[in-house]
């Protein structure tokens, strides 16, 4: 099925350039363009696109307002195209809170120094966003009904499984900023253990994201620093463009922030962080996988489970993209499959 795309940007040059790039992928088709938010709303109502690419700053109606109004009319995935600056990061995070699904750099060279590869990544993200989003908001497949059945049958755990973990680690990608906000804002200031957060996000975005979460939450949230000793009641966000590994020993845990290998797909990578956790305190870790494309975190969860740690996964209904949590659930690694609001509530009960 061809993915129908609506391009929204106030620059006619950019609209034309983006349309030409999209035209190189036979799976995609530009069905309309718009120069501001008001036009975008009309085109969404007229053409029912599968994906909308949205600029942030436009005359008449800005992208954030347009996203909010579009989502009220039709549940269409919106891909924000923004500048990867501090101000761009703040505005993009506002757009995600308004209902945008994902974001990419407006300067496509930031995706890859190779022009062809950058264009391929852009087209692939648009296609994945459509297929993942619409699959997630349609009827469950037979395979996913099996996963869903794990949720519908209540299982009483013995008291030993309810002991407070020494560490909580949360991995997520597409839809993660809003999901993390929903989880972390439910936690009390005296949360009994440290939390590691691994969100697929560029380096210019993670400082602003950590600051935003810190103002919204009772717990302390900060971007992790190399060598930092972990403290209870604090959440440490992995810096974008780097890898965050756990070091030390139980009761004296700290993080190592490393460049990682050039060929690594994700920086930060959930699997790498979870693997380092498994080697040190896997049995006393609660790993949580939230919404996101792909399967990053599945192997790391497996290693934590091998060391008798606990794994929770977000359910399909509350996920923006049911990729990462589905990979964990289908592999039989999830001790619990929970709605995003229940994850925060049940974590709070650990206090």
Residues carrying an active site annotation: 173, 200, 296
Q: How many angstroms separate the CA atoms of 323 and 198, rounded?
A: 16
Q: How far is CA 83 from the centre of its chain?
A: 19
Buried b (16+ CB within 10 A) or exposed e, 314-333: bbbebbbbbbbbbbbbbbeb
Q: How many angstroms separate the CA atoms of 267 and 201, rounded?
A: 8
Query: What single-letter DSSP state applies at residue 185?
Result: T
47, 116, 276, 297 from 113: Cα distances, Å: 34, 9, 31, 27
Q: Prior bond to 268 cis, omega within 30? A: yes
Q: How many angstroms separate the CA atoms of 46 and 48, rounded?
A: 6
For residue 236, give every residue at least 6 positions away whose Cβ sits within 8 Å of its Cβ, in sequence order, or none. 194, 195, 196, 197, 222, 223, 224, 228, 230, 244, 255
Structure tokens at 243: 């890898």
Structure tokens at 294: 């792909």
Q: How many angstroms separate the CA atoms of 253 and 231, rounded?
A: 9
As to burial, measured by CB atoms within 10 angstroms (0-12 exposed, 13-18 middle, 19+ buried), residue 169 is buried
Q: How many angstroms separate the CA atoms of 177 and 183, rounded?
A: 10
For residue 304, give every residue at least 6 positions away whose Cβ sits within 8 Å of its Cβ, in sequence order, or none. 274, 277, 278, 282, 285, 287, 310, 311
């Amino acid at each position: 099925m061809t993915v129908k795309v609506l391009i929204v940007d106030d620059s006619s040059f950019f609209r034309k350039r983006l349309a030409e790039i999209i035209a190189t992928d036979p799976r995609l088709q530009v069905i309309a363009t718009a120069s501001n938010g008001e036009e975008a709303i009309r085109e969404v109502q007229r053409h029912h696109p599968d994906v909308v690419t949205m600029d942030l700053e436009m005359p008449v109606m800005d992208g954030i307002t347009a996203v909010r109004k579009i989502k009220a009319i039709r549940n269409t995935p919106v891909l924000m195209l923004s500048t990867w600056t501090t101000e761009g990061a703040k505005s993009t995070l506002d757009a995600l809170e308004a209902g945008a699904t994902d974001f990419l750099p407006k300067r496509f060279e930031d995706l890859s120094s190779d022009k062809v590869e950058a264009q391929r990544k852009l087209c692939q993200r648009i296609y994945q966003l459509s297929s993942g989003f619409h699959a997630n908001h349609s009827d469950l497949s037979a395979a996913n009904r099996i996963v869903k059945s794990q949720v519908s049958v209540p299982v009483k755990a013995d008291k030993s499984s309810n002991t407070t973990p020494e560490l909580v680690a949360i991995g997520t990608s597409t839809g993660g900023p809003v999901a993390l906000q929903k989880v972390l804002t439910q936690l009390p200031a005296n949360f009994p253990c440290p939390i590691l957060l691994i969100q697929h996000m560029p380096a210019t975005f993670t400082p602003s994201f950590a600051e935003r979460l810190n103002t919204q939450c009772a717990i302390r949230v900060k971007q992790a620093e190399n060598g930092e000793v972990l403290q209870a009641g604090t959440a440490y966000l992995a810096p974008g463009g780097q890898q965050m590994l756990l070091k030390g020993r139980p009761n004296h845990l700290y993080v190592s922030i490393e460049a990682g290998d050039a060929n690594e797909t994700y920086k930060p990578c959930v699997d790498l962080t979870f693997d380092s956790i498994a080697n040190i305190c896997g049995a006393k870790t609660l790993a949580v996988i939230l919404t996101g494309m792909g399967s990053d975190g599945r192997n790391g969860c497996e290693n934590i489970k091998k060391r008798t740690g606990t794994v929770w996964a977000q359910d399909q209904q509350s996920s923006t993209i049911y990729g990462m949590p589905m990979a964990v659930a289908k592999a039989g690694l999830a001790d619990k499959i929970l709605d995003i609001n229940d994850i925060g509530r049940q974590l709070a009960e650990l206090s």
